[in-house]
Structure 1
Amino acid sequence: MNYATVYKNIEQYPDSVVIQEILMGNRELFEILIRRYNPDLYKTGRGYGYNHQDTEDLMQEAFISIFQSLSKFENRSSFKTWMIRIMLNLCYHKSQKLSYRNKPTIEISVNENSGSMFLTTNHSDPDRSIVNKELRNVIEAALKNLPEDYRMTFTLRELTGLSVADTAELLNITASNVKVRLNRAKMMLRNEIEKIYSPEDIYEFNLIYCDKIVNNVMKKIL
Protein backbone atom coordinates (compact mmCIF):
# COMPACT_ATOMS: atom_id res chain seq x y z
CA MET A 1 0.00 0.00 0.00
CA ASN A 2 1.29 3.44 -0.93
CA TYR A 3 0.48 5.31 2.28
CA ALA A 4 2.19 8.53 1.25
CA THR A 5 -0.20 9.02 -1.64
CA VAL A 6 -2.90 10.15 0.79
CA TYR A 7 -1.21 13.50 0.38
CA LYS A 8 -1.84 15.13 -2.96
CA ASN A 9 1.51 16.88 -2.84
CA ILE A 10 4.01 15.49 -0.35
CA GLU A 11 6.51 18.22 -1.17
CA GLN A 12 4.42 20.71 0.77
CA TYR A 13 5.16 18.84 3.99
CA PRO A 14 8.63 19.70 5.34
CA ASP A 15 10.76 17.05 6.99
CA SER A 16 10.06 18.45 10.45
CA VAL A 17 6.30 17.98 10.05
CA VAL A 18 6.65 14.46 8.67
CA ILE A 19 9.07 13.48 11.44
CA GLN A 20 6.74 14.84 14.11
CA GLU A 21 3.83 12.86 12.70
CA ILE A 22 5.89 9.66 12.58
CA LEU A 23 7.02 10.11 16.19
CA MET A 24 3.37 10.58 17.16
CA GLY A 25 2.62 7.12 15.81
CA ASN A 26 1.94 7.61 12.10
CA ARG A 27 4.65 5.20 11.01
CA GLU A 28 3.26 4.84 7.51
CA LEU A 29 4.40 8.38 6.73
CA PHE A 30 8.01 7.22 6.85
CA GLU A 31 7.45 6.32 3.22
CA ILE A 32 7.58 10.03 2.42
CA LEU A 33 11.11 10.29 3.79
CA ILE A 34 12.22 7.14 1.99
CA ARG A 35 11.00 8.39 -1.36
CA ARG A 36 12.35 11.88 -0.73
CA TYR A 37 15.89 10.74 0.08
CA ASN A 38 16.27 7.46 -1.80
CA PRO A 39 18.34 9.11 -4.57
CA ASP A 40 20.74 10.75 -2.12
CA LEU A 41 21.47 7.55 -0.20
CA TYR A 42 21.87 5.66 -3.46
CA LYS A 43 24.38 8.15 -4.83
CA THR A 44 26.25 8.03 -1.53
CA GLY A 45 26.58 4.25 -1.63
CA ARG A 46 27.63 4.16 -5.26
CA GLY A 47 30.04 7.03 -4.72
CA TYR A 48 31.62 5.07 -1.88
CA GLY A 49 32.37 2.30 -4.35
CA TYR A 50 29.63 -0.26 -3.86
CA ASN A 51 27.74 -1.91 -6.70
CA HIS A 52 24.01 -1.58 -7.20
CA GLN A 53 22.92 -4.57 -5.11
CA ASP A 54 25.21 -3.82 -2.18
CA THR A 55 24.06 -0.20 -2.23
CA GLU A 56 20.41 -1.26 -2.11
CA ASP A 57 21.16 -3.52 0.87
CA LEU A 58 22.94 -0.69 2.66
CA MET A 59 20.08 1.71 1.92
CA GLN A 60 17.54 -0.65 3.43
CA GLU A 61 19.70 -1.03 6.52
CA ALA A 62 20.20 2.73 6.68
CA PHE A 63 16.51 3.56 6.47
CA ILE A 64 15.66 1.09 9.22
CA SER A 65 18.38 2.61 11.39
CA ILE A 66 17.10 6.10 10.57
CA PHE A 67 13.58 5.11 11.57
CA GLN A 68 14.77 3.59 14.84
CA SER A 69 16.85 6.67 15.64
CA LEU A 70 14.37 9.29 14.47
CA SER A 71 13.68 10.54 17.99
CA LYS A 72 17.40 11.29 18.39
CA PHE A 73 17.52 13.77 15.50
CA GLU A 74 18.26 17.12 17.12
CA ASN A 75 18.32 19.50 14.13
CA ARG A 76 22.00 20.29 14.66
CA SER A 77 22.45 19.66 10.96
CA SER A 78 19.97 19.24 8.14
CA PHE A 79 17.95 16.03 8.15
CA LYS A 80 19.47 15.14 4.79
CA THR A 81 22.99 15.47 6.20
CA TRP A 82 22.04 13.40 9.24
CA MET A 83 20.69 10.62 7.02
CA ILE A 84 23.74 10.61 4.76
CA ARG A 85 25.98 10.39 7.83
CA ILE A 86 24.18 7.21 8.87
CA MET A 87 24.58 5.82 5.35
CA LEU A 88 28.27 6.72 5.30
CA ASN A 89 28.83 5.00 8.63
CA LEU A 90 27.26 1.82 7.29
CA CYS A 91 29.35 2.06 4.11
CA TYR A 92 32.49 2.46 6.18
CA HIS A 93 31.77 -0.49 8.46
CA LYS A 94 30.95 -2.71 5.50
CA SER A 95 34.14 -1.65 3.76
CA GLN A 96 36.19 -2.56 6.81
CA LYS A 97 34.51 -5.93 7.10
CA LEU A 98 34.78 -6.88 3.44
CA SER A 99 37.96 -4.96 2.53
CA TYR A 100 36.13 -2.85 -0.06
CA ARG A 101 37.91 0.33 0.99
CA ASN A 102 41.18 -0.45 -0.77
CA LYS A 103 39.51 -1.91 -3.84
CA PRO A 104 36.51 0.19 -4.83
CA THR A 105 34.31 -1.34 -7.48
CA ILE A 106 32.36 1.00 -9.68
CA GLU A 107 29.84 -1.22 -11.39
CA ILE A 108 27.51 0.63 -13.72
CA SER A 109 24.41 -1.40 -14.49
CA VAL A 110 22.32 -0.57 -17.53
CA ASN A 111 19.75 -3.28 -18.05
CA GLU A 112 16.97 -2.79 -20.58
CA ASN A 113 14.68 -5.18 -18.69
CA SER A 114 15.06 -3.75 -15.20
CA GLY A 115 15.38 -0.09 -16.09
CA SER A 116 18.37 2.21 -16.31
CA MET A 117 19.96 3.80 -13.27
CA PHE A 118 20.50 6.91 -15.39
CA LEU A 119 18.12 9.53 -16.64
CA THR A 120 18.94 10.46 -20.21
CA THR A 121 16.05 12.76 -20.97
CA ASN A 122 18.25 14.95 -23.12
CA HIS A 123 18.46 12.19 -25.71
CA SER A 124 15.87 10.62 -27.99
CA ASP A 125 14.62 7.10 -27.27
CA PRO A 126 16.28 5.50 -30.34
CA ASP A 127 19.62 6.75 -29.07
CA ARG A 128 18.99 5.77 -25.45
CA SER A 129 20.83 2.43 -25.42
CA ILE A 130 23.83 3.90 -27.22
CA VAL A 131 24.02 6.84 -24.82
CA ASN A 132 23.64 4.59 -21.77
CA LYS A 133 26.43 2.34 -22.96
CA GLU A 134 28.66 5.32 -23.62
CA LEU A 135 27.86 6.85 -20.22
CA ARG A 136 28.52 3.56 -18.45
CA ASN A 137 31.92 3.20 -20.05
CA VAL A 138 32.86 6.81 -19.35
CA ILE A 139 31.93 6.62 -15.68
CA GLU A 140 33.56 3.23 -15.11
CA ALA A 141 36.80 4.43 -16.62
CA ALA A 142 36.80 7.75 -14.78
CA LEU A 143 35.61 6.80 -11.31
CA LYS A 144 37.11 3.36 -10.83
CA ASN A 145 40.59 4.77 -10.27
CA LEU A 146 39.61 8.05 -8.64
CA PRO A 147 40.98 8.25 -5.06
CA GLU A 148 38.24 7.72 -2.49
CA ASP A 149 38.67 11.15 -0.88
CA TYR A 150 38.01 12.89 -4.18
CA ARG A 151 35.28 10.48 -5.24
CA MET A 152 33.33 10.99 -2.00
CA THR A 153 33.75 14.76 -2.06
CA PHE A 154 32.46 14.87 -5.63
CA THR A 155 29.55 12.58 -4.75
CA LEU A 156 28.41 14.53 -1.69
CA ARG A 157 28.76 17.98 -3.26
CA GLU A 158 27.73 17.41 -6.86
CA LEU A 159 25.52 14.33 -6.80
CA THR A 160 23.66 14.66 -3.50
CA GLY A 161 23.82 18.46 -3.46
CA LEU A 162 25.15 18.93 0.06
CA SER A 163 26.64 22.29 1.00
CA VAL A 164 30.36 22.79 1.53
CA ALA A 165 29.78 23.00 5.28
CA ASP A 166 27.76 19.78 5.43
CA THR A 167 30.25 17.94 3.25
CA ALA A 168 33.12 19.11 5.45
CA GLU A 169 31.23 17.93 8.54
CA LEU A 170 30.54 14.48 7.10
CA LEU A 171 34.09 13.95 5.86
CA ASN A 172 35.67 15.54 8.95
CA ILE A 173 37.72 18.02 6.94
CA THR A 174 37.73 21.80 6.57
CA ALA A 175 35.58 23.72 4.12
CA SER A 176 38.74 24.76 2.30
CA ASN A 177 39.72 21.12 1.87
CA VAL A 178 36.30 20.35 0.44
CA LYS A 179 36.76 23.04 -2.20
CA VAL A 180 40.26 21.85 -3.04
CA ARG A 181 39.20 18.21 -3.32
CA LEU A 182 36.18 19.10 -5.41
CA ASN A 183 38.22 21.15 -7.84
CA ARG A 184 40.76 18.36 -8.21
CA ALA A 185 38.05 15.75 -8.63
CA LYS A 186 36.45 17.82 -11.37
CA MET A 187 39.78 18.16 -13.11
CA MET A 188 40.17 14.38 -13.04
CA LEU A 189 36.67 13.80 -14.38
CA ARG A 190 36.23 16.75 -16.72
CA ASN A 191 37.52 15.20 -19.94
CA GLU A 192 35.51 12.01 -19.47
CA ILE A 193 32.30 13.26 -17.87
CA GLU A 194 31.67 16.97 -17.53
CA LYS A 195 32.15 17.75 -21.20
CA ILE A 196 29.21 15.42 -21.98
CA TYR A 197 27.01 14.97 -18.92
CA SER A 198 25.80 17.10 -16.03
CA PRO A 199 26.23 15.78 -12.46
CA GLU A 200 22.49 15.09 -12.30
CA ASP A 201 22.82 12.48 -15.07
CA ILE A 202 25.00 10.33 -12.81
CA TYR A 203 23.71 7.77 -10.33
CA GLU A 204 20.04 8.55 -10.70
CA PHE A 205 17.87 6.20 -8.65
CA ASN A 206 15.16 4.88 -10.94
CA LEU A 207 11.59 4.70 -9.60
CA ILE A 208 11.53 0.94 -10.11
CA TYR A 209 14.27 0.68 -7.48
CA CYS A 210 12.62 3.29 -5.24
CA ASP A 211 9.46 1.18 -4.92
CA LYS A 212 11.53 -1.85 -3.97
CA ILE A 213 13.30 -0.04 -1.13
CA VAL A 214 10.03 1.50 0.09
CA ASN A 215 8.27 -1.86 0.20
CA ASN A 216 11.12 -3.65 1.97
CA VAL A 217 11.60 -1.01 4.63
CA MET A 218 7.92 -0.39 5.31
CA LYS A 219 7.31 -4.12 5.81
CA LYS A 220 9.89 -4.12 8.58
CA ILE A 221 8.71 -1.03 10.45
CA LEU A 222 4.92 -1.41 10.25
Structure 2
Amino acid sequence: MIQVEKFTEAEIISRIINGEKALYEIIVRRFNPYLYKIGRSYNYTHEDTQDLMQETFIDAYKNLLQFEGRAGFKTWIIRIMMNNCYRKRGKSSFKNEIMQDVNEHSTPMFTNRNNDTDKIIQNRELGHIIENALEKIPFDYRIVFSLREINGLNVAETVEMLNISEANVKVRLNRAKTMLRNEIESTYSASELFEFNLIYCDAMVENVMEKINEL
Protein backbone atom coordinates (compact mmCIF):
# COMPACT_ATOMS: atom_id res chain seq x y z
CA MET A 1 0.00 0.00 0.00
CA ILE A 2 1.25 3.49 -0.85
CA GLN A 3 1.98 5.70 2.17
CA VAL A 4 -0.85 8.24 1.97
CA GLU A 5 0.66 10.96 4.16
CA LYS A 6 4.02 11.21 2.42
CA PHE A 7 3.25 13.81 -0.25
CA THR A 8 1.40 17.11 -0.46
CA GLU A 9 -1.56 17.35 -2.82
CA ALA A 10 0.41 19.55 -5.23
CA GLU A 11 3.24 17.02 -5.36
CA ILE A 12 0.87 14.11 -5.86
CA ILE A 13 -1.03 15.81 -8.68
CA SER A 14 2.14 16.92 -10.43
CA ARG A 15 3.60 13.44 -10.32
CA ILE A 16 0.37 11.82 -11.52
CA ILE A 17 0.19 14.23 -14.46
CA ASN A 18 3.80 13.35 -15.26
CA GLY A 19 2.96 9.68 -15.54
CA GLU A 20 3.03 8.19 -12.03
CA LYS A 21 -0.50 6.87 -12.32
CA ALA A 22 -0.19 4.60 -9.28
CA LEU A 23 -0.03 7.63 -7.00
CA TYR A 24 -3.70 8.27 -7.71
CA GLU A 25 -4.37 5.69 -5.01
CA ILE A 26 -3.35 8.36 -2.49
CA ILE A 27 -6.03 10.69 -3.85
CA VAL A 28 -8.69 7.99 -3.62
CA ARG A 29 -7.78 7.05 -0.04
CA ARG A 30 -7.45 10.63 1.13
CA PHE A 31 -10.80 11.83 -0.23
CA ASN A 32 -12.96 8.71 0.13
CA PRO A 33 -14.53 9.91 3.42
CA TYR A 34 -15.40 13.37 2.10
CA LEU A 35 -17.09 12.11 -1.05
CA TYR A 36 -18.96 9.43 0.87
CA LYS A 37 -20.43 12.02 3.22
CA ILE A 38 -21.50 14.18 0.28
CA GLY A 39 -23.29 11.30 -1.40
CA ARG A 40 -25.09 10.33 1.77
CA SER A 41 -26.10 13.97 2.29
CA TYR A 42 -28.03 13.69 -0.97
CA ASN A 43 -29.84 10.72 0.63
CA TYR A 44 -28.30 8.25 -1.78
CA THR A 45 -27.92 4.68 -0.59
CA HIS A 46 -24.50 3.27 0.27
CA GLU A 47 -24.40 1.48 -3.08
CA ASP A 48 -25.44 4.53 -5.13
CA THR A 49 -22.96 6.67 -3.23
CA GLN A 50 -20.16 4.25 -4.06
CA ASP A 51 -21.08 4.41 -7.75
CA LEU A 52 -21.06 8.21 -7.65
CA MET A 53 -17.71 8.23 -5.85
CA GLN A 54 -16.14 6.00 -8.47
CA GLU A 55 -17.51 8.20 -11.22
CA THR A 56 -16.17 11.28 -9.45
CA PHE A 57 -12.67 9.89 -8.94
CA ILE A 58 -12.47 8.91 -12.61
CA ASP A 59 -13.79 12.32 -13.71
CA ALA A 60 -11.22 14.04 -11.49
CA TYR A 61 -8.42 11.91 -12.91
CA LYS A 62 -9.41 12.72 -16.49
CA ASN A 63 -9.47 16.44 -15.67
CA LEU A 64 -6.39 16.81 -13.45
CA LEU A 65 -4.83 19.18 -15.98
CA GLN A 66 -7.79 21.52 -15.43
CA PHE A 67 -7.13 21.75 -11.70
CA GLU A 68 -5.48 25.13 -11.41
CA GLY A 69 -4.90 25.18 -7.68
CA ARG A 70 -6.77 28.41 -7.01
CA ALA A 71 -9.02 26.49 -4.62
CA GLY A 72 -8.05 23.50 -2.53
CA PHE A 73 -8.18 20.09 -4.17
CA LYS A 74 -10.76 18.99 -1.59
CA THR A 75 -13.09 21.78 -2.69
CA TRP A 76 -12.49 20.94 -6.35
CA ILE A 77 -13.22 17.23 -6.07
CA ILE A 78 -16.22 17.79 -3.78
CA ARG A 79 -17.63 20.08 -6.45
CA ILE A 80 -17.29 17.29 -9.03
CA MET A 81 -19.04 14.90 -6.65
CA MET A 82 -21.84 17.39 -6.05
CA ASN A 83 -22.29 17.91 -9.79
CA ASN A 84 -22.58 14.17 -10.27
CA CYS A 85 -25.05 13.91 -7.39
CA TYR A 86 -27.01 16.83 -8.80
CA ARG A 87 -27.32 15.24 -12.22
CA LYS A 88 -28.49 12.00 -10.67
CA ARG A 89 -30.88 13.80 -8.38
CA GLY A 90 -32.50 15.55 -11.34
CA LYS A 91 -33.84 18.65 -9.68
CA SER A 92 -32.33 21.92 -8.55
CA SER A 93 -32.40 23.40 -5.11
CA PHE A 94 -34.42 26.50 -4.51
CA LYS A 95 -32.70 29.78 -5.29
CA ASN A 96 -34.46 32.24 -3.02
CA GLU A 97 -34.77 32.22 0.73
CA ILE A 98 -36.35 34.62 3.20
CA MET A 99 -33.56 36.04 5.26
CA GLN A 100 -33.73 35.89 9.04
CA ASP A 101 -31.44 37.04 11.81
CA VAL A 102 -28.27 35.00 12.08
CA ASN A 103 -26.49 34.22 15.32
CA GLU A 104 -22.85 34.93 14.48
CA HIS A 105 -21.63 33.15 17.63
CA SER A 106 -23.69 29.96 17.39
CA THR A 107 -22.05 26.97 19.02
CA PRO A 108 -21.11 23.82 17.09
CA MET A 109 -23.95 21.38 16.64
CA PHE A 110 -21.85 18.52 17.95
CA THR A 111 -19.36 18.55 20.79
CA ASN A 112 -16.81 15.80 21.22
CA ARG A 113 -17.43 15.23 24.91
CA ASN A 114 -16.19 11.66 25.08
CA ASN A 115 -13.51 9.98 23.00
CA ASP A 116 -14.10 6.57 24.54
CA THR A 117 -14.14 4.24 21.55
CA ASP A 118 -15.96 1.50 23.44
CA LYS A 119 -18.78 3.89 24.27
CA ILE A 120 -19.03 4.98 20.63
CA ILE A 121 -19.27 1.36 19.53
CA GLN A 122 -21.84 0.56 22.21
CA ASN A 123 -23.92 3.56 21.23
CA ARG A 124 -23.80 3.03 17.48
CA GLU A 125 -27.59 3.16 17.53
CA LEU A 126 -27.33 6.91 18.04
CA GLY A 127 -25.45 7.12 14.74
CA HIS A 128 -28.51 5.69 13.02
CA ILE A 129 -30.68 8.26 14.79
CA ILE A 130 -28.43 11.03 13.50
CA GLU A 131 -28.50 9.69 9.95
CA ASN A 132 -32.27 9.33 10.05
CA ALA A 133 -32.63 12.88 11.39
CA LEU A 134 -30.45 14.29 8.63
CA GLU A 135 -32.49 12.47 6.00
CA LYS A 136 -35.59 14.34 7.20
CA ILE A 137 -34.02 17.77 6.78
CA PRO A 138 -34.70 19.54 3.44
CA PHE A 139 -31.79 19.13 1.06
CA ASP A 140 -30.80 22.81 0.96
CA TYR A 141 -30.16 22.79 4.70
CA ARG A 142 -28.71 19.29 4.78
CA ILE A 143 -26.04 20.03 2.17
CA VAL A 144 -24.90 23.18 3.99
CA PHE A 145 -24.69 21.20 7.22
CA SER A 146 -22.70 18.48 5.45
CA LEU A 147 -20.22 20.90 3.90
CA ARG A 148 -19.70 22.99 7.04
CA GLU A 149 -20.06 20.61 9.97
CA ILE A 150 -19.19 17.21 8.49
CA ASN A 151 -16.69 17.98 5.71
CA GLY A 152 -15.10 20.96 7.45
CA LEU A 153 -15.41 23.59 4.71
CA ASN A 154 -15.37 27.19 5.87
CA VAL A 155 -18.07 29.75 5.05
CA ALA A 156 -16.23 31.15 2.02
CA GLU A 157 -15.68 27.69 0.54
CA THR A 158 -19.34 26.81 1.10
CA VAL A 159 -20.44 30.05 -0.57
CA GLU A 160 -18.30 29.19 -3.60
CA MET A 161 -19.57 25.62 -3.68
CA LEU A 162 -23.28 26.44 -3.53
CA ASN A 163 -23.30 29.89 -5.15
CA ILE A 164 -25.34 31.43 -2.35
CA SER A 165 -24.58 34.36 -0.07
CA GLU A 166 -22.54 34.13 3.11
CA ALA A 167 -25.62 35.13 5.08
CA ASN A 168 -27.64 32.32 3.52
CA VAL A 169 -24.96 29.81 4.43
CA LYS A 170 -25.22 30.89 8.06
CA VAL A 171 -29.02 30.94 8.03
CA ARG A 172 -29.28 27.47 6.54
CA LEU A 173 -26.69 26.04 8.90
CA ASN A 174 -28.48 27.43 11.93
CA ARG A 175 -31.82 26.11 10.70
CA ALA A 176 -30.30 22.68 10.07
CA LYS A 177 -28.94 22.62 13.61
CA THR A 178 -32.32 23.60 15.00
CA MET A 179 -34.02 20.79 13.10
CA LEU A 180 -31.47 18.25 14.30
CA ARG A 181 -31.70 19.38 17.90
CA ASN A 182 -35.34 18.37 17.84
CA GLU A 183 -34.31 14.80 16.98
CA ILE A 184 -31.05 14.04 18.72
CA GLU A 185 -28.78 14.87 21.63
CA SER A 186 -25.47 16.57 20.99
CA THR A 187 -23.25 13.66 21.98
CA TYR A 188 -20.87 12.90 19.15
CA SER A 189 -18.67 14.98 16.88
CA ALA A 190 -19.96 15.53 13.36
CA SER A 191 -16.94 13.72 11.91
CA GLU A 192 -18.31 10.48 13.34
CA LEU A 193 -21.30 10.68 10.98
CA PHE A 194 -21.35 8.63 7.79
CA GLU A 195 -17.87 7.19 8.34
CA PHE A 196 -16.50 5.42 5.28
CA ASN A 197 -15.09 2.20 6.75
CA LEU A 198 -11.65 1.01 5.68
CA ILE A 199 -13.08 -2.16 4.15
CA TYR A 200 -15.09 -0.01 1.74
CA CYS A 201 -12.10 2.28 1.18
CA ASP A 202 -9.95 -0.62 -0.02
CA ALA A 203 -12.66 -1.77 -2.42
CA MET A 204 -13.08 1.75 -3.80
CA VAL A 205 -9.32 2.07 -4.35
CA GLU A 206 -9.22 -1.24 -6.19
CA ASN A 207 -12.19 -0.38 -8.42
CA VAL A 208 -11.01 3.13 -9.27
CA MET A 209 -7.42 2.11 -9.97
CA GLU A 210 -8.64 -0.70 -12.23
CA LYS A 211 -10.63 1.82 -14.26
CA ILE A 212 -7.77 4.33 -14.28
CA ASN A 213 -5.34 1.72 -15.59
CA GLU A 214 -7.70 1.04 -18.49
CA LEU A 215 -7.59 4.71 -19.61
**TM value normalised by structure 1:** 0.81
The equivalent of 1:93 in structure 2 is: 87
The equivalent of 2:106 in structure 1 is: none
The equivalent of 2:128 in structure 1 is: 136
The equivalent of 2:167 in structure 1 is: 176
The equivalent of 1:112 in structure 2 is: none
Whether 1:68 and 2:62 are equivalent positions in the alignment is yes
The equivalent of 2:40 in structure 1 is: 46
Gaps of 5+ in 2: 94-113
Kindly tell me the number of residue pairs found equivalent between the two proteins. 193
Q: 2:26 aligns with which of 17, 25, 32?
A: 32
Alpha carbons of 1:40 and 1:143: their partners in 2 closer, same or farther (altered >3 Å)? same
State the Cα deviation string for residues 116-175 of structure 1 (Å, max 9, x = none): xxxx963427x83x52223213431x1222011100000011111111111111111011
The equivalent of 1:82 in structure 2 is: 76
CA distance in 2, matches of 1:87, 1:154: 16
**TM value normalised by structure 2:** 0.83
Alpha carbons of 1:168 and 1:12: their partners in 2 closer, same or farther (altered >3 Å)? same
After superposition, where does 1:82-161 map in structure 2 within 5 Å? 82-96=76-90, 122-124=116-118, 128=121, 130-140=122-132, 142-161=133-152
Whether 1:16 and 2:10 are equivalent positions in the alignment is yes
Gaps of 5+ in 1: 102-119
CA distance in 2, matches of 1:219, 1:194: 42
Letter in 1 for 2:85: C
CA distance in 1, matches of 2:197, 2:207: 16
Tell which has more relative contact order, 1 or 2 (C-alpha 8 A, sep 6+): 2
RMSD: 2.0
The equivalent of 1:164 in structure 2 is: 155
Question: Given that residues 41 and 143 in structure 2 are in contact (C-alpha distance below 8 angstroms), is that contact kept between their aligned partners in structure 1?
Answer: yes
Q: Secondary structure at the match of 1:197?
A: coil
The farther-off stretch of 22-31 and 189-198 is 189-198
Question: Given that residues 38 and 210 in structure 1 are in contact (C-alpha distance below 8 angstroms), is that contact kept between their aligned partners in structure 2?
Answer: yes
User: 1:12: Cα distance to partner?
Assistant: 3.8
The equivalent of 1:207 in structure 2 is: 198
